[in-house]
Structure 1
Amino acid sequence: MSGERVCARLGVGADTDAESHQRFSSLLRAAADDHTRDRVTIADLRDTFQDTAFGALIFIFAVPNVLPVSILGVSAITGLPLVLLAYQIMCGGRVPWLPPWILKRSFSRTQFQRLIDRIEPGVIRLERYLRPRLHGLFHPLCERALGAICLVLAIILFLPIPLGNMLPGVALSLAGLALIERDGIALAVSVVTAVASVVVVSGAVYAMALAAFFVAHHALGF
């Protein structure tokens, strides 16, 4: 994946006709179908997306938590990178940094193709509605606020809360796409989803705490 392709997608040094720009789904597919390598590393993905790497990496780490049949413990694997990325956005970072041991993590090309096969139809459907708009919502201060929201979601996702990863995963995936496409409406939807996910997860934790207290009270006589 060359930098020229990414620039073409962003409209830098390329025809401004929207049809000539490669979209996120196209770049994901190209990475999955790249027969020049047997494995795809996180560093490869970061370098592929360049100026949109924050949004792309947030989406890539968040979306496995949204899949109906996620691998058990996937949030423990994806949560830490999401925490690091969100913290950097909150601090005004421009270039995403991840520890070398995360950047070196890799998928076999077959595994990555399977993941893309699962998420590509949904991404393509969403892309029909995504476009650059409401640019004021991407003011540096607004982006820092988004980073703080994503940090809260990433921490929730990272914690071992039963079924506590899906809604934060949805909100983070939407935030990633909003950052990639610079779509203010998608950004607003991601924030609303974030608030809803915090309320739902908080309610679930409160209910579990009450249930634990009830069991302890009646079984142990507390």
Structure 2
Amino acid sequence: MRTEIDPADPDVNFYRMLTAVVVPRPIAWVSTVSTDGVPNLAPHSFYSVACARPPIVLFTSVGKKDTLRNVRETGEFVVNLASAPLIHEVNDSSARFSSAASEAEELGIAMEPSVKVTPRRVAASPVSIECRLHSTTELGDSTLVLGDVVLMTVADHVLVDGHPEYDLLDPLARLGKDEWALHAEVLAIPRPRRPEDIPPEHRR
């Protein structure tokens, strides 16, 4: 048995249903600055990689938020990795602060200069991805934002043999409702390059 859920049903909050099943979702903790010089910091859980070469990341702004306005007007943003020790800062920065307010300043989140773009990065975040706007696409009530990656900075303490280590990054992920995923279990499984690489015991 299955329950059928129609997104066109006016009695269904399909956004809540969708975010409950498209899980876990990584978080783009995006820092921007307005043309008036006001910094903004906000989490966006519709986030992924759009292209490998050249490197392009994407996030979706649901509604017309300060982040979207700043990106469109300045053409720059930074994606800060949202790590587990920063869960309260990440969550609190989702509040609807005034456009004239800096979330980082209001919440006491330390920021530091980026290298190639104007928006500052979160000092305690282990990774920052500096971006210049590639393009935006309107999709219903949301806007898809694509950013060309111009630089990534990674804190030395999360690198093992020069590569970011998942356990040390300890990234947050959004689930449904008010739920978060913390300290995810990691399982390494070699990817088969050819059908012959699939172990016989995995075939049914």
TM superposition score normalised by structure 2 = 0.27
TM superposition score normalised by structure 1 = 0.26
**Which has a greater percent of strand?**
2
**Which has a greater percent of helix?**
1
